[in-house]
Amino acid sequence: MAPSRPSRMQSGGFSLPEVTLALGLLAGVLISIAGLFVMAERLVRGGSHQTKALAVARDILEETNGWHFRGLYETFGSDGSSASDVVDTRTNAYAAKWQQMLDEDLRETHAEIVLESIDDGGSPPVLKAARCIRISVTVFWREELRDREVSVATVRM
């Protein structure tokens, strides 16, 4: 009796359609994973920018906390004759040092420092007559075609 040859069904290899399908599935999974890496990189970069903006805003608040009451508005060149003042780091000579810190890491950025007198009732007094002043710092920047901002505030009495 002649030895029998193994039939095609008993061979251990894969057919061409099976290999093609497996490679297609593998390519789809790899492309999906690559997309996750790109998204994760964007989130990390965005978090880094937000952290930098918040750190500069807190630096501004910490520095103003050391000033006397009149120094809050006089340092920025105001005479305190209004109930509020807005200081822009792009245009104010004293605040320009913070603009330099922002320009190091952020695009199209600036900060606004708002000084507002606060009163219990009625209209707020002018800054030089105020017993309570709110200091708000907002940092604005542009990230991937989106405008972003972060704000911190404190009240001085």
Read off the pLDDT of residues 88-144 as tens digits, 9 standing for 90 and up. 999 999 999 999 999 998 989 999 999 999 987 778 899 999 999 999 999 999 998
Residue 21 has pLDDT above 60, yes or no: yes
Specify whether the CB–CB gap between 53 and 106 falls below 8 A. Answer: yes
If DSSP codes are grouped into helix, strand and coil, which group holds residue 40? helix
Where would I find the H helices in 66-148? 69-74, 96-105
Q: Answer yes or no: pTM beyond 0.85.
A: no
Where would I find the H helices in the chain? 16-65, 69-74, 96-105
**Band of residue 12 on the pLDDT scale cut at 50, 70, 90:** confident
Mean pLDDT for the stretch of residues 19-25: 95
CA-based nearest residue to 128, from 56, 48, 69? 69
Residue 51 has pLDDT above 90, yes or no: yes
**Band of residue 10 on the pLDDT scale cut at 50, 70, 90:** low
> What are the backbone dihedrals phi and psi of residue 152, each rounded to the nearest 5 degrees, phi first?
-140, 155
Residue 8 has pLDDT above 60, yes or no: no
**Cβ–Cβ contacts within 10 Å for residue 72, how many?**
21
C-alpha span between 109 and 49 (Å, rounded): 11
For the CA atoms of 39, 40, 46, 47, the dihedral, rounded to the nearest 10 degrees, stands at 160
C-alpha span between 22 and 16 (Å, rounded): 10
Residue 73 has pLDDT above 80, yes or no: yes
Output DSSP code: residue 119.
-
**When comparing pLDDT for 25 and 38, which is higher?**
25
If DSSP codes are grouped into helix, strand and coil, which group holds residue 139? strand
Tell me the DSSP string of 5-39. Answer: PPPGGG--S--HHHHHHHHHHHHHHHHHHHHHHHH
